[in-house]
Structure 1
Amino acid sequence: MENDQTRATITTATTSSSSKEADHDDCHDLLIASLPKEKGWSSHQLYLYQGFWCPSVLIREEMAVHQHFQARQNDIALATNPKSGTTWLKALAFSILRRQHYTPSQNHPLLTSNPHTLVPFLFQGFLDQDLTSNIAHSPRLFSTHLPYHALPPSIKSCAIGCRIVYLCRNPYDTFISAWHFFTKASDSLEPLSLNDAFDMYIRGVFGYGPFWVHMLGYWKESLERPQKVLFLKYEDLKDNPILHMKRLAEFIGVPFSIEEEKEGLIEEISRLCSINNLRELDVNKTGKFGSHFENKALFRKGEVGDWVNYLTPEMVERLDKVIQEKMDGFGLTFKTSL
């Protein structure tokens, strides 16, 4: 009799759980159906969710993270627009933060693991419980493409509010890098012409875009809360990596010592994390990142000013106009060459 009651309880609980999952799926499907949509840069549709464009496959994960993720005060979030130096920032932040455990010359994890494996995206780490169960690696280090306004509440909380490092790349090079990546990185994606992609980009139809909303959100917050949000520029980091690596180390709570500077540790980490070095490592020449992007597609040129080889004068004029209309008056400027 007792066994029958136990089985009945388990069956009821399982049925209830399955029912909740089914209800959640129905709500998700209804939400997707209600959102404005556009043909994406790949075979995926983009949906306008919480003011930014996102593939439907990621909306479920973003919803779960937004509702349930709890930040800690010593968490460190790396935020970027897609194709704005995300891989580079992950390599630098990981190497600086964990340098007491690994040196650039002694079996460093970057020699055998892709930076995206070492520093998971927020929704990946949350779903895999890497961020919640691996207490040994405190402070927790993760990344996100989410615009500031769409971050989980606990990340932005004044009471908790983990530290956020934002890396901003000029919109011209960001577009070219994204176009190469999303149209050439995987055989499973439909090619998109440069003109079509550009038309979408300046309308704001870009993964986690519009780009101006993304950049200005973190820019404004960095001015209001500089102790919580560090705003780095890709071009400045390229021009003077040592200076800005020191800023990064200071911000995340692990400043370089005088001895480390004298020993040349900052230069060693810079060389280890350079795109030229990462590109040549075997781990980044093979394998895939995510479901269909090849690791090698993450390392193209990483140059400042490569856009001049692709954008026509008319395109430049149109993009200039969008930047002026959307971003003028906020004090955020861009270097388009070094």
Structure 2
Amino acid sequence: MASTEGLQAYEEEKLLLPFPKERGWGSRHLYLFQHFWCPSTHIEGVINFQKHFQAKDSDVIVASFPKSGTTWLKALTFSILNRKRFSSFDNHPLLTSNSHELVPFLDFIFHGDNIQHKLSYLSNMTEPRVFGTHVPFPSLSNSIKESNCKILYICRNPFDAFVSSWTFFNKTKSGSLHEVTIEEALEKYCKGIVGFGPTWEHMLGYWKESIATPNKVLFLKYEGLML
């Protein structure tokens, strides 16, 4: 009898077969999924998130392209929304927990089986709930688009985001992935072949929505927050 790991790998392979594939530099492969390049390890979570996530009007979604100030904005958002719960610095969760733990990525939450358990966990979270995502606006779940929840989007100078991404990848890559030269990485980045890319399309999706629905989407610039 096949192992659970073997069956899961087989199911993931079947899921990915229809999509164009490129070798990634932040992951083994990227797949062109819903018009953006998605790491193979994220597609299942994105699909489950789109199908099953039910947004609440009080939710806040922190959206960004990778390495654009996500960690910083998550920490700021969590602190502002929970300023009454954690009014003292002595017991503030950010002193002991990373902001990615306190503001989880939606596709990470929905990765894997046991969807009902995940939905139960989400329904019992303290409100207002705060989540993160790198998913482009067109691929967000319909419940986010149709609800009155708020979206905070942060963008960053693409050159700085690229350098940060390349440095981060080469520091944290697994031994099974080869080190990527900056020239090789830049060529792929400029072609848009990077996780959740192309970069400009990602930014434009949220920018256009911030113009169309300014009460729902707030478009922030990393450089502006630093002033």
TM bucket (normalised to shorter chain) is 0.7 to 0.9
| Larger proportion of helix | 1
Secondary structure at the aligned position of 1:78 is classed as strand
Corresponding position of 1:169: 156
Q: Is 1:224 matched with 2:208?
A: no
The 5 Å alignment of 1:136-175 reads 137-157=126-146, 160-175=147-162
Secondary structure at the aligned position of 2:57 is classed as coil
What is the CA-CA distance between 1:139 and the residue it aligns to?
1.1
Distance 1:80 1:228 in 2: 15
Instruction: Verify the 8 A CA contact 1:78 1:144 in the aligned structure 2.
Output: yes
Secondary structure at the aligned position of 1:227 is classed as coil
Distance 1:190 1:223 in 2: 41
Corresponding position of 2:84: 100
What is the CA-CA distance between 1:183 and the residue it aligns to?
1.5
Question: Alpha carbons of 1:29 and 1:126: their partners in 2 closer, same or farther (altered >3 Å)?
Answer: closer
What is the CA-CA distance between 1:57 and the residue it aligns to?
1.6
What is the CA-CA distance between 1:51 and the residue it aligns to?
0.6
Corresponding position of 2:197: 209
- Matched residues, percent identical? 50
Structure 1 residue runs of 5 or longer lacking an equivalent are: 1-17, 240-338
Letter matched to residue 133 of structure 1 = S
**How well do the aligned residues superpose, as a CA RMSD in angstroms?**
2.0
Distance 1:166 1:75 in 2: 14
Secondary structure at the aligned position of 1:41 is classed as coil
Instruction: Verify the 8 A CA contact 1:131 1:140 in the aligned structure 2.
Output: no
Question: Alpha carbons of 1:95 and 1:141: their partners in 2 closer, same or farther (altered >3 Å)?
Answer: same
The correspondence for 1:185, drawn from 172, 179, 189, is 172
User: Which has the larger displacement, 184-193 or 207-216?
Assistant: 184-193
Secondary structure at the aligned position of 1:57 is classed as coil
Alignment TM-score, normalising by the size of structure 1:
0.60
Corresponding position of 2:123: 133
Instruction: Verify the 8 A CA contact 2:63 2:152 in the aligned structure 1.
Output: yes
Larger radius of gyration: 1
Distance 2:44 2:110 in 1: 13
Distance 1:60 1:90 in 2: 24
Corresponding position of 1:63: 47
Q: Which has the higher contact order (CA 8 A, sep 6+)?
A: 2
Question: Alpha carbons of 1:236 and 1:142: their partners in 2 closer, same or farther (altered >3 Å)?
Answer: same
What is the CA-CA distance between 1:104 and the residue it aligns to?
5.5
Letter matched to residue 134 of structure 1 = N
The correspondence for 2:37, drawn from 41, 53, 66, is 53
Instruction: Verify the 8 A CA contact 1:42 1:192 in the aligned structure 2.
Output: no
Distance 2:120 2:17 in 1: 32
Structure 2 residue runs of 5 or longer lacking an equivalent are: 112-117
The correspondence for 1:123, drawn from 83, 107, 117, is 107
